[in-house]
Amino acid sequence: MLWGVSLGKKIRAARQRRGWTQEELAARLGVGITSIKNWESDKHEPKSALGRLEDELGVKLTEDTREPAVSESLDARLTGEIATRLAERAARIAQLEAEVRRLREENERLRKHGLQTVDLGEQWAARDREPATNGADDRHKDEVGADGGPTE
């Protein structure tokens, strides 16, 4: 069980540590023996009687009791997943940076052959520095999304 011992097993163990029978616990709580049996077998939870049950047994029944090995295993798995995602993103950034370098080199090669090129990076940066006019910000109205259509 991922979250450790069930509530019913905790109730049974606490009752047995006290040396009480189900009948004795039922009498102390003012409930029927059927309630105790249902709680200990995890058929029902002692919702309205939980506080009294904890007081009578002298234990906190609802705290997280995950076993350390389960918790550590879960933490290790999540840490591994995060590390994998970060590595994938770092690799993608490196690919994009390499593509930018390649395009800059291609652009420079074309300029050396007398072909006019446009430095889109500088154009976009300049547009971003310009204040919006008439309260409307249409500086990126010509941007193209991944699907080839305009971005929003």
3-state secondary structure of 144: strand
Give per-10-residue mean pLDDT for the chain (152 aa). 72 92 94 94 90 89 58 75 90 93 89 76 69 54 52 52
Cα gap 25→18, rounded to integer Å: 10
Direct distance between the N- and C-terminal alpha carbons of the chain, in angstroms, rounded to an integer: 47
What pLDDT shows up at residue 44?
A: 92
The amino acid occupying position 72 is E
Residues 74-85: pLDDT tens digits? 777 788 888 889
Burial class (CB in 10 A: 0-12, 13-18, 19+), 10: buried
